[in-house]
């Protein structure tokens, strides 16, 4: 979602701010802007659309100044126009903001009643007015910010500068991440360490409710009670190089291709082949006491949770509940003793999942997190961090994070099964998991076939996906992937559900993607597939040699996967599902890495 960069520099900042924004592009945005202070005046450039529009404005009309703040905006209140783009200037104050001020309406109404004028539709402008009002009544900038923060409800990360104090950069966070970067004679503010990586590796992560006063020589962090506090400076390890696409046309394609390597990397930290054991990091609770599991996540990560439910229930015989995070805390969930709460998240910052994690913790539930960004809010708040090692995922459509999350979920299910005394053949589980990278490489070798069939799918208005067992959530994932990057309407169904309604959608214009590895459930899925074929469905069958030999005859296309154990099938079958969505989107000419309306890290509810 939105991105913030701020620099109090010893050299001009505009180009460096733009570079920082480029590094935040992956989060998704629809307008951008930069404001500097020069000769005691604000100077600002903003532009709707992609950063190249802002870069164009900067090249036509450069921005001088040694101090400035910059922002990529993902519209929440008001269209992505130049007027709504950040930074917003009100009086002596300039501000950038990530998140949502939930009580902006009454605040705005009260400010208008006082005679203050608004020029944008944003919730952010309310904050600018509130701080400006404090300053107009004589407060110095730190006090003005501290007075305003308690009035704001919602989630926010803020960057603030005051025209009369060009050597001061203020920031604040609540529910949205914000980092401080330490330089030599310069200091910085950024949404994440990646944005600041070319400037510094020395980073402090602000905690919930913190606010910060930055000068070129000093950084003072205050907690929500305005106590001066210390936040450790760590080495971010983030690369200063812009992550590039290598030989690939899109980040998504690169990330699909990285999977054999990153899944192997992830598995390496959990598998102990010499001991025929699947291990977890040390934990200070006893897995054998777990009597139920609650998994909470959003989008693709929630489908990992659904697959995890099959695995945990089958292997460990522990009941599992899976919830989308946006529903979880508002339905007042019943959280019984001896529950293990699991959150799954690539970014570790998804607002709903983070809120669900906090809800579980406040109810006394022990939590584990399958998380890709080790410095994220969730990673810092879970009782047990189970890292994925997918590396930065830039494409908005999650691919390698998904399969790495599955690998960790398999490790967790195995450990739970052992702790419950139900695990038989751990050596076999280790062997199966070790085969995943090779099987994924084999799956990738079908890329050209999938590319060749993509134009047939690209003309469809609706596409349905079918799967059974752990391949049912994969059908949901396939449909999500297709709709988010190709904008084709797609739905995933449990195969057996077809005739309870969705089969009414079937005609000869509707491609039906059937995900069906051979095995005990295969015949049942094939029956459901044939029922749809009898009504004209254009079937693409994704199966192994045996399955295709048995049921591929009337399909418009088949994609042959290697024959794999049912435990690892979802990881392997994810590859053709991702490639199909990718090639259909390319055939349609959409913006694959930054599809319309979507953000990578959804830090608002
Ligand atoms: C997947 O392709 C999505 N873009 C989206 O569903 C994503 O998985 C979801 O927003 C959760 O994000 P997280 O893993 O960062 O929490």
CB neighbours of residue 558 within 10 Å: 22
CATH 3.40.50.10490 residue ranges of the chain are: 245-434, 445-591
Identify the pLDDT of residue 293: 98
* Closest to 410 measured CA to CA, from 370, 458, 362: 370
- Cα(348) to centroid of ligand 1, in Å? 10
Rg (CA), the chain: 25
| Nearest ligand 1 atom to alpha carbon 297 | 16
The residue-averaged pLDDT of 57-86 equals 94
Identify the pLDDT of residue 248: 94
The residue-averaged pLDDT of 32-60 equals 96
- Best mutation site among 398, 476, 484, 490 for ligand 1 pocket (most ligand atoms within 8 Å of CB): 398
The residue-averaged pLDDT of 130-136 equals 98
From 2, 35, 298, 404, the catalytic residue: 2
- Cα(298) to centroid of ligand 1, in Å? 6
Identify the CATH class of 3-235: alpha beta
| Nearest ligand 1 atom to alpha carbon 399 | 2
- Best mutation site among 298, 345, 357 for ligand 1 pocket (most ligand atoms within 8 Å of CB): 298
- Best mutation site among 177, 297, 300 for ligand 1 pocket (most ligand atoms within 8 Å of CB): 300
DSSP assignment of 465-511 equals EEE-TTHHHHHHHHHHHHHHHH--EEEEEEGGGGGGTGGGG-STT-E
pLDDT band at residue 240 under the 50/70/90 scheme: low
Statement: residue 241 has pLDDT above 80? no
Q: Are 59 and 18 in contact (CB under 8 A)?
A: no
Identify the pLDDT of residue 295: 98
Contacts of 415 (CB under 8 A, 6+ apart): 278, 279, 280, 287
Q: Are 558 and 576 in contact (CB under 8 A)?
A: no
The residue-averaged pLDDT of 154-163 equals 95
- Cα(27) to centroid of ligand 1, in Å? 11
- Cα(459) to centroid of ligand 1, in Å? 26
pLDDT band at residue 76 under the 50/70/90 scheme: confident
- HSE-up of residue 23 (Cα within 13 Å, Cβ side): 26
Q: What topology is assigned to 445-591 in CATH?
A: Rossmann fold (3.40.50)
Contacts of 200 (CB under 8 A, 6+ apart): 181, 182, 183, 188
Statement: residue 591 has pLDDT above 70? yes
Task: Confirm whether 2 is a catalytic residue.
Answer: yes
Statement: residue 238 has pLDDT above 80? no
Environment class of residue 177 by beta-carbon count within 10 Å: exposed (0-12), middle (13-18) or buried (19+)?
A: buried
SS3 of residue 234 by DSSP: strand
Model pLDDT for residues 341-375, shown as the tens digit of each residue = 999 999 999 999 999 999 999 999 999 999 999 88
Protein residue whose Cα sits closest to atom 16 of ligand 1: 345
- H/E element holding 168? strand 165-174
- Cα(399) to centroid of ligand 1, in Å? 10
pTM above 0.95, yes or no: no
Identify the pLDDT of residue 25: 85
| Nearest ligand 1 atom to alpha carbon 481 | 2
d(CA 147, CA 222): 13
Statement: residue 117 has pLDDT above 80? yes
d(CA 373, CA 348): 6
pLDDT band at residue 155 under the 50/70/90 scheme: confident
Statement: residue 246 has pLDDT above 80? yes
The residue-averaged pLDDT of 216-245 equals 89
Identify the CATH class of 245-434: alpha beta
Helices (H), 97-161: 104-113, 124-136, 141-148
Protein residue whose Cα sits closest to atom 5 of ligand 1: 299
d(CA 324, CA 330): 11
- Cα(66) to centroid of ligand 1, in Å? 37
From 22, 309, 481, 600, the catalytic residue: 600
Statement: residue 604 has pLDDT above 90? no
Model pLDDT for residues 488-510, shown as the tens digit of each residue = 999 999 999 998 998 899 999 99
Least confident residue range of 100-114, 242-256, 412-426: 242-256
d(CA 12, CA 495): 60
The residue-averaged pLDDT of 29-54 equals 95
**Tokens representing residue 431 in the block:** 């062997």
Look at 594 and 151; give whichever has higher pLDDT: 151
- Cα(598) to centroid of ligand 1, in Å? 10
Q: What pairing do the DSSP bridges indicate for beta strands 211-214 and 179-182?
A: unpaired
Statement: residue 551 has pLDDT above 80? yes
Q: Are 382 and 343 in contact (CB under 8 A)?
A: yes
- Best mutation site among 191, 250, 299, 349 for ligand 1 pocket (most ligand atoms within 8 Å of CB): 299
| Nearest ligand 1 atom to alpha carbon 405 | 14
- Cα(396) to centroid of ligand 1, in Å? 8
Identify the pLDDT of residue 369: 98
Q: Taking CB atoms and a 6 Å cutoff, what residues make up the pocket around ligand 1?
A: 298-301, 345-347, 350, 353, 396-398, 484, 601-602
**Tokens representing residue 452 in the block:** 């060749």
- Cα(300) to centroid of ligand 1, in Å? 5
The residue-averaged pLDDT of 112-121 equals 95
pLDDT band at residue 33 under the 50/70/90 scheme: very high
Identify the pLDDT of residue 27: 80
Q: Work out the percent of the chain whose per-residue pLDDT is above 70.
A: 99
- Best mutation site among 26, 252, 301 for ligand 1 pocket (most ligand atoms within 8 Å of CB): 301
d(CA 588, CA 580): 12
DSSP assignment of 404-427 equals HHHHHHHHHHHHHHHHTT----HH
Protein residue whose Cα sits closest to atom 9 of ligand 1: 299
Identify the pLDDT of residue 26: 79
| Nearest ligand 1 atom to alpha carbon 350 | 16
- Cα(100) to centroid of ligand 1, in Å? 19
Task: Confirm whether 600 is a catalytic residue.
Answer: yes
pLDDT band at residue 242 under the 50/70/90 scheme: low
- Cα(521) to centroid of ligand 1, in Å? 29
């Amino acid at each position: 979602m939105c991105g913030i960069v701020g620099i109090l520099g010893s050299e001009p900042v505009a180009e460096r701010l733009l570079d920082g924004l480029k590094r935040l592009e992956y989060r998704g945005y629809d307008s951008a802007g930069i404001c500097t202070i020069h000769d005691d005046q604000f100077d600002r450039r903003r532009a709707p659309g992609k950063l190249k529009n802002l870069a164009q404005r900067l090249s036509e009309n450069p921005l001088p100044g040694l101090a400035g703040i910059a922002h990529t905006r993902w519209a929440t209140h008001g269209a992505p126009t130049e007027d709504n783009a950040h930074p917003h200037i009100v009086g002596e104050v300039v501000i950038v903001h990530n998140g949502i001020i939930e009580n902006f309406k009454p605040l705005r109404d009260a400010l208008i009643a006082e005679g203050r004028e608004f020029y944008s539709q944003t919730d952010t402008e309310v904050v600018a007015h509130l701080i400006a009002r404090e300053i107009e009544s004589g407060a110095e900038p730190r006090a003005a910010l501290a007075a305003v923060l308690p009035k704001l409800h919602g989630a926010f990360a803020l960057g603030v500068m005051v025209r009369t104090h060009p050597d001061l950069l203020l920031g604040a966070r609540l529910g949205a991440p914000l980092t401080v970067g330490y330089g030599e004679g310069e200091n910085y503010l950024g949404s994440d360490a990646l944005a600041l990586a070319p400037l510094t590796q020395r980073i402090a992560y602000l905690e919930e409710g913190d606010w910060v006063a930055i000068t070129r020589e000093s950084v003072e962090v205050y907690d929500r009670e305005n106590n001066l506090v210390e936040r450790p400076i760590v080495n971010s390890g983030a690369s200063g190089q812009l992550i590039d696409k290598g030989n690939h046309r899109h980040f998504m394609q690169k990330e699909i291709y990285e999977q054999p390597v990153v899944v192997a990397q992830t598995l390496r930290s959990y598998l102990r082949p010499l001991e025929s054991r699947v291990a977890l990091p040390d934990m200070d609770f006893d897995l054998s006491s777990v009597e139920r599991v609650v998994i909470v996540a959003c989008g693709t990560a929630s489908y990992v949770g659904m697959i995890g439910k099959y695995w945990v229930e089958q292997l460990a015989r522990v009941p599992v509940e899976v919830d989308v995070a946006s529903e979880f805390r508002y339905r007042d969930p019943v959280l019984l003793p001896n529950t293990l709460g699991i959150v799954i998240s690539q970014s570790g910052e998804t607002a709903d999942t983070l809120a669900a994690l906090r809800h579980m913790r406040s109810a006394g539930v022990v939590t584990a997190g399958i998380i890709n960004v080790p410095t994220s809010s969730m990673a810092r708040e879970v009782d047990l961090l189970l890292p994925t090692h997918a590396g930065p995922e830039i494409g908005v459509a999650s691919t390698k994070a998904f399969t790495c999350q599955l690998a960790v979920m398999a490790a967790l299910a195995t450990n739970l099964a052992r702790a419950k005394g139900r695990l038989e053949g751990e050596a076999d589980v280790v062997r199966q998991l070790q085969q995943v990278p090779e099987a994924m490489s084999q799956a990738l070798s079908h890329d050209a076939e999938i590319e060749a069939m993509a134009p047939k799918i690209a003309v469809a208005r609706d596409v349905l996906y079918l799967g059974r067992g752990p391949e049912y959530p994969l059908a949901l994932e396939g449909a999500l992937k297709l709709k988010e990057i190709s904008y084709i309407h797609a739905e995933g169904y449990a195969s057996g559900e077809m005739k309870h309604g969705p089969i009414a959608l079937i005609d000869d214009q509707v491609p039906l993607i059937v995900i069906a590895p051979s095995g005990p459930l295969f015949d049942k899925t094939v029956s459901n597939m044939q029922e749809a074929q009898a009504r004209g469905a254009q079937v693409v069958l994704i199966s192994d040699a045996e399955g295709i030999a048995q049921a591929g005859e009337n399909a418009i296309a088949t994609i042959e996967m290697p024959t794999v154990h049912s435990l690892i099938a979802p990881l392997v079958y994810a590859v053709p599902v991702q490639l199909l969505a990718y090639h259909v989107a390319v055939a349609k000419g959409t913006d694959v890495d930054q599809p319309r309306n979507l953000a990578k890290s959804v830090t608002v509810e």
